Chains A and B, each alone.
Chain A
Amino acid sequence: MDLNYGAEYEDFRKEVQAFCKEYQGVSFKSDSNVVADALNSSSATKKSKKEVTRSEWQQILIEKGYIARAIPKEYGGYGGETDIIKSRIIATEFSKAKVPGGMGGQGIDMLVPTLLEWGSEEQKQKYIRPTLHGEMIWCQGYSEPNAGSDLASLQTKGELIDGNWVINGQKIWTSTAQYSQMMFCLVRTEPQAPKHSGISFILIPMDTPGIEIRPLVDMTLKAGFNEVFFDDVTVPEENIVAKRGEGWSVANSVLGHERGSLADPNATMNRLNTLINMMKEQTIDGRRLIDIPSYRDRLMQVQGKVMASQAHSLRLLSSKINPGQNVKLGGMIQKLVGTELRHELEGLAIDVLGEIGTLYEDSPYLKEDGSFQFTYMYFLGLIIGGGTNQIQKNIISERGLGMPKEPKVTEAS
């Protein structure tokens, strides 16, 4: 066991800490048109105002190599080497200092790594830079009303007619569709092929005629999904990523990126600390919540789980640095364990607040902006989304424990 990263990394940590100190309290301007202005302003002005646009912030972080670290310069990245320890240090220090990280979202987290792996040179040139800089927002067109856990049965149809893909069908659970410039979409282009090999991965500009977006409000009443309808939506042939019929493989490499990012142990630790502080401040009959033994015991149980999952993430980190270190099914459990734990933690916060815990939106007596209720529900969404936790259990038992697949049911007519 050696938990030291070494002197070089401790220097890097100091550099990141200094950066975090400089930008502590940074907040975001909503107007994205002032990007150019702000970028030219002096760092002193930035520091005093501490107000930047999202895309400026992306630019600052990319220049430092704190995000897009291993993405080549020619595509708008930092152009460095992948360094897992540095990534870890960045995540930890940003989280400690409560300095916002880079933008997330389907484009940066999922599409960029996919294009790097599968995209043509033109596609990389065209899409990666604006995506990294927050100027091109993406949504994901995978699920359909009849293709959820059984995603490969999707039916949205794409036909190649006169050098264009003509797309018809419907997608669902499409978050951020209403803000997005682009969608990466799974489309059935080879209807004669077996279901997994008949799918292609196609990039669709969201302003193409024939696209209709209908909002689908989720239980939080805040974060919105959409349904997206395609009626003879026509995009150029070159918008396909990889070859015809390779879409399933392309999508699987993207899902791998998503599952890793769903449950961040640093974020969970921060929420635990928020909960602990709240339990020290809030009272029942003048008695602090943390002094009530049954509440305290539940808090300690959750703390135990959070500590286990933090230690586990260190072990996973170590296995990436030290090839040959066997973590068995360590990586496979992250989505299942992480989302369930977070849901439990937020639910505990609601319970200890009692009636106060039910308050929402802009109610008087609201604590932490109602984030406990919101996150409690939001994580129920994550338990279901990104491959339901029941599907995760199938994956863990089949690929992790080597248990047999459920026998195929012969199609009833």
Chain B
Amino acid sequence: MFFGLSEEQEQFQDYVKKFLADNVTVDEIRKIANGEDEALAKEIYSGLINLGINALLVPEEHGGLGADLLSAVAVAQGLGAGVGPIPFAGAYVMAPIAINLAGSDEQKAKYLPQIVSNETKFGVGLSEYVAAREDAGIDLSGGKANGKALFVIDGDEADYFLLANKGGVLFLVDAKDKGIEINKLTSVDKTRSYLELNLKNVAAEILLESENNPEIAKKVLDAGRIIFAADSLGASESMIEKAVSYAKERKQFNRVIGSFQAVKHMCAEMASDLEPCYAMLWQAAHSFDHEPDEARLQACQAKSHISEVAKMVSKKATEVHGGMGFTDLLGLHYWFKRIGLNRQLLGGPELIREEAAEIQGFNQ
């Protein structure tokens, strides 16, 4: 019996953390977030691709690493910890899982190796499937998609978009299709892209198995939620580390502020609420691949619970930094905002808890 990340998974996570720590300082994050250094953004992106994060979930027969979701979670924790300004949850987790579970043999053979070579990039928009806001929603008929997809992630350089209709039918559209109008949305979190797609008679390549089996879309959703939870966990871990080390240096009243119980207790509260989240997250990821009966509930609860803890951490860690925590100069807000976006993506805690209740047959 071994409960935790394997040595390999920890190592992979360490590579990601180290790469980000070495290459992406707060100043650099700021430049990328403000769109001031495209070259740097590309360099970081390709540096992480060189580590192989894109190939993780692609089966070995299609040239990938054939790893399980827990490995992707290990990476996502690292990306969250360093607010990695690159696509991941959509492009390299949800897309390969969707294609692998719902695609035909031809589709798998076509797309999966291209994810490994990163020749083809996928943006992912499942928001309408979870909870359609405004007038979003996609109508799928006669092989054509019409309507609007909001809050599409990982789409900045996408060649294809993975979308779903309300019934959970998954399909791909070509980003170059003339019927697609792409608008950028600006969220508080400028480390990741966010799009609106307006589709008029766009050719939809349906991932057929998702039509027969509505559980597949849910599975893809679970994976995405677990990855966002992992990202928030990593970001929270970093925020606590930063708060603790700041509190050990900053002096007021001739003492380091970390010797005041008011400050110590905030740090202890953050750490002790976050600590059980590691196990919760890893268990959810493990169940995703190995314990199907537990998987959906654990994915929902991990996303909603970790989002709540991360929100608390993002607030308290900022407070520990005092006025500096509030400044752009320190850049702590990139972590704060990362947690803020993760919380809402693919369903905020209240919506997901309703789903968790439904899974257990509680709300009749």
Residues of B in contact with A, size category: 35 or more
Are the CB atoms of B3 and A3 closer together than 8 Å? yes
When chains A and B are docked, how far (Å) is the Cα of A325 from the Cα of B1? 12
Q: Which among A4, A301, A304, A403 has the highest number of chain B CB atoms within 10 Å?
A: A304
When chains A and B are docked, how far (Å) is the Cα of A187 from the Cα of B38? 71
* Residues of the A chain whose Cβ atoms lie less than 8 Å from the Cβ of B275: 312, 328-330, 333, 337
Are the CB atoms of B6 and A1 closer together than 8 Å? yes
Are the CB atoms of A296 and B363 closer together than 8 Å? yes
Considering the complex, which residues of chain A in the window 2-30 have a beta carbon less than 8 Å from any beta carbon of chain B? 2-6
Q: Which residue of A lies closest to B277 (CB)?
A: A308
Considering the complex, which residues of chain A in the window 361-413 have a beta carbon less than 8 Å from any beta carbon of chain B? 390, 392-394, 396-398, 400-407
When chains A and B are docked, how far (Å) is the Cα of A57 from the Cα of B259? 50
* Residues of the B chain whose Cβ atoms lie less than 8 Å from the Cβ of A315: 3-4, 278-279, 282
When chains A and B are docked, how far (Å) is the Cα of A314 from the Cα of B6? 15
Are the CB atoms of A300 and B247 closer together than 8 Å? no
* Residues of the A chain whose Cβ atoms lie less than 8 Å from the Cβ of B286: 1, 3
Q: Mark A293-318, 1 if CB is under 8 A from B, else 0.
A: 10011011101110111011011011
* Residues of the A chain whose Cβ atoms lie less than 8 Å from the Cβ of B308: 301, 304
- Chain B nearest CB, measured from A399 CB (Å): 10
B27 close to A (CB within 8 Å):
no
Q: Which among B3, B5, B280, B364 has the highest number of chain A CB atoms within 10 Å?
A: B3
Q: Mark B298-334, 1 if CB is under 8 A from A, else 0.
A: 1001001100100000000000000000000000000
Are the CB atoms of B272 and A337 closer together than 8 Å? yes
Are the CB atoms of B6 and A400 closer together than 8 Å? no
B350 close to A (CB within 8 Å):
yes
Q: Mark B234-272, 1 if CB is under 8 A from A, else 0.
A: 000000000010011000000110111100110111011
When chains A and B are docked, how far (Å) is the Cα of A400 from the Cα of B247? 15
Are the CB atoms of B280 and A301 closer together than 8 Å? no
Are the CB atoms of B282 and A1 closer together than 8 Å? yes
B5, B247, B279: the one contacting A311 at CB < 8 Å is: B279
- Chain B nearest CB, measured from A121 CB (Å): 36
Q: Which residue of A lies closest to B2 (CB)?
A: A2
Are the CB atoms of A406 and B304 closer together than 8 Å? no
A321 close to B (CB within 8 Å):
yes
Count of chain A residues near B, Cβ 8 A: 55
Are the CB atoms of B305 and A307 closer together than 8 Å? yes
A40 close to B (CB within 8 Å):
no
- Chain B nearest CB, measured from A295 CB (Å): 10
When chains A and B are docked, how far (Å) is the Cα of A406 from the Cα of B257? 10
A280, A337, A403: the one contacting B244 at CB < 8 Å is: A403
Are the CB atoms of B276 and A396 closer together than 8 Å? no
Q: Which residue of B lies closest to A335 (CB)?
A: B272
A206 close to B (CB within 8 Å):
no
Are the CB atoms of A401 and B267 closer together than 8 Å? yes
Q: Which residue of B lies closest to A324 (CB)?
A: B7
Q: Which among B5, B248, B268, B363 has the highest number of chain A CB atoms within 10 Å?
A: B268
Are the CB atoms of B264 and A393 closer together than 8 Å? yes
B72 close to A (CB within 8 Å):
no
Q: Which residue of A lies closest to B254 (CB)?
A: A407
Please tell me which stretch of B53-61, B75-83, B354-362 contacts chain A, meaning at least 4 of its Cβ atoms lie within 8 angstroms of it. Answer: B354-362
Q: Mark A316-357, 1 if CB is under 8 A from B, else 0.
A: 011101100100111011001100000000000000000000
Q: Which residue of B lies closest to A326 (CB)?
A: B4
* Residues of the B chain whose Cβ atoms lie less than 8 Å from the Cβ of A337: 272-273, 275-276
Q: Mark B339-364, 1 if CB is under 8 A from A, else 0.
A: 00000000000100110110000111
B100 close to A (CB within 8 Å):
no
When chains A and B are docked, how far (Å) is the Cα of A15 from the Cα of B341? 50
When chains A and B are docked, how far (Å) is the Cα of A317 from the Cα of B255? 39
Q: A317-B3, A318-B1 are in contact. Are A400 and B268 (CB under 8 A)?
A: yes
A85 close to B (CB within 8 Å):
yes
* Residues of the B chain whose Cβ atoms lie less than 8 Å from the Cβ of A397: 258, 264-265, 267-268, 271
- Chain A nearest CB, measured from B329 CB (Å): 24
B126 close to A (CB within 8 Å):
no
When chains A and B are docked, how far (Å) is the Cα of A112 from the Cα of B304? 42
Considering the complex, which residues of chain B in the window 163-205 have a beta carbon less than 8 Å from any beta carbon of chain A? none
When chains A and B are docked, how far (Å) is the Cα of A312 from the Cα of B354? 24
- Chain A nearest CB, measured from B305 CB (Å): 3
* Residues of the B chain whose Cβ atoms lie less than 8 Å from the Cβ of A333: 271-272, 275-276
- Chain B nearest CB, measured from A241 CB (Å): 33
When chains A and B are docked, how far (Å) is the Cα of A336 from the Cα of B276? 12
Are the CB atoms of B268 and A3 closer together than 8 Å? no
Q: A1-B70, A300-B304, A403-B248 are in contact. Are A312 and B279 (CB under 8 A)?
A: yes
Are the CB atoms of B259 and A405 closer together than 8 Å? yes
A290 close to B (CB within 8 Å):
yes
B244, B273, B363: the one contacting A290 at CB < 8 Å is: B363
A291 close to B (CB within 8 Å):
yes
Are the CB atoms of A403 and B258 closer together than 8 Å? yes
B283 close to A (CB within 8 Å):
yes
- Chain B nearest CB, measured from A293 CB (Å): 8
When chains A and B are docked, how far (Å) is the Cα of A319 from the Cα of B2? 8
A5, A300, A318, A396: the one contacting B357 at CB < 8 Å is: A300
List 22 interface pairs A-B (beta carbons < 8 Å), by A numbering.
Answer: A297-B353, A301-B304, A304-B308, A304-B356, A311-B282, A318-B1, A318-B4, A322-B2, A325-B4, A329-B272, A330-B275, A333-B275, A390-B265, A393-B261, A396-B268, A396-B271, A396-B272, A397-B264, A400-B268, A404-B248, A406-B261, A407-B259
Q: Apart from A330-B275, A397-B258, A406-B260, list 17 A-B contacts with CB within 8 A.
A: A2-B2, A3-B1, A276-B362, A296-B362, A297-B353, A299-B357, A300-B304, A303-B301, A304-B356, A312-B275, A312-B279, A317-B1, A318-B2, A337-B276, A396-B268, A397-B268, A407-B255
Listed in ascending order, the chain B residues whose CB lies under 8 Å from chain A are: 1-6, 70, 244, 247-248, 255-256, 258-261, 264-265, 267-269, 271-273, 275-280, 282-283, 286, 290, 298, 301, 304-305, 308, 350, 353-354, 356-357, 362-364
Listed in ascending order, the chain A residues whose CB lies under 8 Å from chain B are: 1-6, 85, 276, 280, 290-291, 293, 296-297, 299-301, 303-305, 307-309, 311-312, 314-315, 317-319, 321-322, 325, 328-330, 332-333, 336-337, 390, 392-394, 396-398, 400-407
